[in-house]
Structure 1
């Protein structure tokens, strides 16, 4: 990956998208809840990245920068279209899930995640699906680390309650 040092060639956009596009789609899918909306969010983020790619490809962490663009695109999309948001009946199995969890429990957990407020769901997805630290999530979402911790904590409490595990 490019270090961003002056004089070095930047990473070609098409090659970067080919390599990182599937991970961006998975992130967007977990944020939006369905494949069509996830594709729209990623397309919007990449359409914004392309004209700025020469500069973006030279930042220290291109993946984090574009991941932030996807989160921002999702937030913008959600604000515009939140009234038409609808839960999905079936979750596509492309998302990596621990095999120890039975399929019916995964589906139940997914429905509970979709009922979380947007900010909590985003924080939960970035923390546990993307495996990001609280500081990274705060930077990506543009809120304080304490707010991220609060959103994750409240989201986990809501999920535990929905799953009938309030005592754990």
Structure 2
């Protein structure tokens, strides 16, 4: 199978998952699409080498999350004021839109690194070691960022506890 066909098949199989992770990171559908596209462009140029090494998912996730952090750093320097208009929520079947909006708003209260750790650990269901590998940091850093993010959510987003009790 040619590298181009292999890449096309990979993107077709993983696009939904990558898009979901990008949306949870950015909180914006359009930014999420841009983030996934830019990450896949970077991956495409090295696809033969990446796919030859086995499972390309960890590498692709790392590119996605590193690109998000780069955007955050860049935007911090040139951030423009804008109205905080709610996005149109496109919920998965069976998902409660109110819950989705509450979680999205809570994730926005975190730093990009804290958000990335929680998305990888609890939405992508990665282990601490896998999360550390994707983010290029130690397992201890993942643990401390997870602890700090959860503590911050407990204080800044008490409505999440209400959601947990309602289920």
Task: Name the TM-score, length of structure 2 as normaliser.
Answer: 0.81
Aligned equivalent of 2:25: 31
Runs of 4+ in 1 over 3 A off after TM superposition: 8-11, 84-88, 93-96, 102-106
**1:99-148 per-position Cα deviation (integer Å, ceiling 9, x unaligned):** 5xx64354233212101111111111111101111111111111111111
Provide Cα deviations, 1:24-62, integer angstroms capped at 9, x if missing partner: 111111111111111111111111111211111112221
Of 84, 109, 119, 2:113 maps to 119
- Do 1:25 and 1:38's aligned partners in 2 also have CA atoms closer than 8 Å? yes
Question: Which residue among 2, 22, 33 is the counterpart of 2:16?
Answer: 22
**RMSD, matched Cα:** 2.5
Aligned residues: 156
- How does the TM-score come out when normalised to structure 1? 0.80
Structure having the larger proportion of residues in helix: 2
Q: Which residue of 1 aligns with 2:35?
A: 41
Structure 1 gaps of 5+ residues are 1-7
Unaligned ranges ≥5, structure 2: 162-167
User: In the superposition, relative to structure 1, how do residues 147 and 33 fare at CA in structure 2: closer, same or farther (>3 Å)?
Assistant: same
- The residue that corresponds to 1:92 in the other structure is 89
